[in-house]
Amino acid sequence: MLGEPEEMVRRKLLRALAAGLQPVLCVGETLAERDAGRTFGVLRWQLLHALEGLDTAELERVVLAYEPVWAIGTGEVPELAEIEDALGSLRDHVARGWGEAAARRMRLLYGGSVGEHNAAQLLGVPGCDGVLVGGASLELERFGRILEAALTVRRSAH
């Protein structure tokens, strides 16, 4: 969304890791890229450039979020199957580069117009380990309902 080049994202990621932080790496396509059928290529490009040169220990400190640029703050959300496919693609790329074990341990989130009305469905997407909440986190009651949805999904999964 900020139009940062991949090299800048990579430098920020490396600095966050060096500072002992657990960074959240957000990757996602624009509407034009989605409409052109380029989602998976864009995600691969962003992911591999940002994570280039990381060892497995560094990688495991990174949280990865699929956050389509076109969905941020718009109220628009991809179909659940599209989210599942995007997260699966990201996990596959991590497995190819760092191994299956690292891919299984990596936390994958979905972000982009997450709200109380869709949190439970998003959290139920196979391969989705959580949601990245933006504007809805600024309103206590809305965020509380998102947390309630998360707890309900977690309880039903156990």
Mean pLDDT by 10-residue block, N- to C-terminus, for the chain (158 residues)? 79 96 96 97 96 94 97 95 98 97 97 96 96 95 96 87
Looking at residue 44, its amino acid is R
**1 found inside a domain:** no
Distance in angstroms (rounded) separating the CA atoms of residues 99 and 94? 7
**75 found inside a domain:** yes
Q: For residue 12, what are its two tokens?
A: 């920020």
Q: For residue 130, what are its two tokens?
A: 């959580």
**121 found inside a domain:** yes
**97 found inside a domain:** yes
The CATH number of residue 70's host domain is 3.20.20.70
Domain that holds residue 153: 6-157
Q: Which pLDDT value is given to residue 2?
A: 63
Q: How many domains does the chain have?
A: 1
Cut 0.85: pTM above it: yes
**86 found inside a domain:** yes
Distance in angstroms (rounded) separating the CA atoms of residues 66 and 144? 23
Q: Which pLDDT value is given to residue 25?
A: 97
Q: Which pLDDT value is given to residue 158?
A: 74
**123 found inside a domain:** yes
Q: Which pLDDT value is given to residue 34?
A: 97
How many degrees, rounded to 5, is the angle at CA 149 between CA 147 and CA 154? 95
Distance in angstroms (rounded) separating the CA atoms of residues 101 and 46? 21
**64 found inside a domain:** yes
